[in-house]
Amino acid sequence: MTIVANKPEPIIYELSAPGRTGAALPACDVPQAKLPAHLMRADLELPEVSEVDVVRHYTRLSQKNYCVDLGIYPLGSCTMKYNPKLNEEAVKLPGFTAVHPYQSEDDTQGALQLLHELQTMLGEICGLPGVTLQPAAGAQGELAGILIIRAYHEARKDHKRVKVIIPDSAHGTNPATSAMTGFQVVQVKSDARGNIDLDELRKLADDTTVGLMITNPNTLGLFEENICEAAQIIHAAGGLVYGDGANLNAIVGLARPGDLGIDVLHSNLHKTFSVPHGGGGPGAGAVMVRADLAPFLPGPIVAKKGKRYALTMPRKSIGRVKSFYGNFLALVRAYVYIRSFGKEHLHEIAENAVLNANYLLARLKNVYSAPFANRVCKHEFVLTGTPFAEQFGVHTLDIAKRIQDYGFYPPTIYFPLIVPECIMIEPTETQSKESLDEFADALLKIAEEAKTNPQLVKDAPHTAPITRLDDVQAARNPVLRYRG
Asked if 224 touches ligand PLP (CB under 6 A), the answer is no
CA distance 465 to 463: 7
Q: Contacting ligand PLP (CB under 6 A), which of 68, 122, 125, 139?
A: 139
CA 431 to chain centre: 18
CA distance 411 to 388: 17
Of the two residues 108 and 190, which places its CB atom closer to ligand PLP in the complex? Answer: 190
Of the two residues 81 and 171, which places its CB atom closer to ligand PLP in the complex? Answer: 171
As measured in angstroms, the least distance from the Cβ of 247 to ligand PLP is: 6
Q: Contacting ligand PLP (CB under 6 A), which of 267, 268, 356, 404?
A: 268
CA distance 449 to 442: 10
Peptide bond into 300 cis (omega under 30): yes
Q: Of the listed pieces 12-20, 25-33, 242-250, 335-343, which binds ligand PLP according to CB under 6 A?
A: 242-250
CA distance 127 to 135: 19
DSSP reduced 3-state for 301: strand
DSSP string, 54-95: HHHHHHHHHTTS--TTTS---BTTT------HHHHHHHTSHH
Peptide bond into 387 cis (omega under 30): no
Asked if 431 touches ligand PLP (CB under 6 A), the answer is no
186 half-sphere exposure, CB direction, 13 A CA radius: 17
| Max CA separation in the chain (angstroms) | 84
CB 287 within 8 A of CB 268: no
Asked if 77 touches ligand PLP (CB under 6 A), the answer is yes
Q: Of the listed pieces 3-11, 135-143, 406-414, 465-473, which binds ligand PLP according to CB under 6 A?
A: 135-143
Of the two residues 118 and 139, which places its CB atom closer to ligand PLP in the complex? Answer: 139
Asked if 395 touches ligand PLP (CB under 6 A), the answer is no
As measured in angstroms, the least distance from the Cβ of 77 to ligand PLP is: 4
Of the two residues 139 and 377, which places its CB atom closer to ligand PLP in the complex? Answer: 139
Q: Of the listed pieces 48-56, 136-144, 344-352, 451-459, which binds ligand PLP according to CB under 6 A?
A: 136-144
CA distance 85 to 90: 9
As measured in angstroms, the least distance from the Cβ of 285 to ligand PLP is: 6
Q: Contacting ligand PLP (CB under 6 A), which of 221, 238, 283, 298?
A: 283
- The CA-based dihedral angle spanning residues 56, 60, 61, 62, taken in that order and rounded to the nearest 10 degrees: 100
Cβ-closest position to ligand PLP:
138
CA distance 385 to 31: 71
Q: Of the listed pieces 119-127, 239-247, 248-256, 425-433, which binds ligand PLP according to CB under 6 A?
A: 239-247
Q: Contacting ligand PLP (CB under 6 A), which of 74, 123, 130, 138?
A: 138
Asked if 247 touches ligand PLP (CB under 6 A), the answer is yes
Of the two residues 78 and 149, which places its CB atom closer to ligand PLP in the complex? Answer: 78
CA distance 252 to 348: 9
Of the two residues 77 and 317, which places its CB atom closer to ligand PLP in the complex? Answer: 77
Please give the radius of gyration of the chain, using alpha carbons only, rounded to the nearest integer.
25
Of the two residues 423 and 450, which places its CB atom closer to ligand PLP in the complex? Answer: 423
Of 287, 352, 285, 279, nearest to 317 (Cα)? 287
Q: Contacting ligand PLP (CB under 6 A), which of 108, 178, 195, 215?
A: 215
Of the two residues 238 and 427, which places its CB atom closer to ligand PLP in the complex? Answer: 427
Total residues interacting with ligand PLP, rule: CB under 6 A: 15
Q: How many CB atoms lie within 10 A of CB 325?
A: 21
Of the two residues 279 and 484, which places its CB atom closer to ligand PLP in the complex? Answer: 279
Compute the C-alpha angle 467/469/475, nearest 5°: 150
Of the two residues 78 and 436, which places its CB atom closer to ligand PLP in the complex? Answer: 78
DSSP letter, residue 27: P
DSSP letter, residue 133: -
As measured in angstroms, the least distance from the Cβ of 6 to ligand PLP is: 35
Query: Which residues contact ligand PLP by CB under 6 A?
Result: 77-78, 137-139, 171, 173, 215, 219, 244, 246-247, 268, 283, 285
